[in-house]
């Protein structure tokens, strides 16, 4: 697969949290370094993702989102069950 995004990090799925529509995935890319991504539940299933699965986190510089953890922001995750 050839893609235009140059920022790629290999890792494995450390945890995931399924909501009604989306799944939050936590990927360990280095000891103590976790990258999180939100994808649709449909994509999660189609890719056959599960705990421990090796994946590649692909980050396009023009499409980076910044946020704070729910517990730091003081409000619950709206996507959680």
Q: Tens place of pLDDT for every residue, the chain, 81 residues?
A: 777 777 889 999 999 999 999 999 999 999 999 999 999 999 999 999 999 999 999 888 777 666 666 655 555 554 544
What's residue 67's pLDDT?
A: 64
What's residue 3's pLDDT?
A: 79
What's residue 61's pLDDT?
A: 76
The Cα–Cα gap between 60 and 49 comes to 21
- Is the pTM above the cut of 0.75? no
Of how many residues is the chain composed? 81
The structural domains of the chain, ordered by start, are 7-61 (2.40.50.100)
């Amino acid at each position: 697969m050839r893609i235009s995004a140059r920022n790629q990090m290999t890792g494995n799925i450390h945890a995931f949290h399924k909501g009604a529509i989306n799944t939050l995935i936590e990927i360990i890319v280095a000891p103590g370094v976790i990258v999180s991504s939100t994808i649709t539940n449909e994509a999660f299933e189609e890719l056959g993702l599960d705990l421990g699965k090796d994946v590649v986190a692909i980050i396009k510089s023009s499409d980076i989102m910044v946020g704070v953890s729910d517990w730091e922001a003081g409000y619950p995750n709206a996507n959680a069950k």
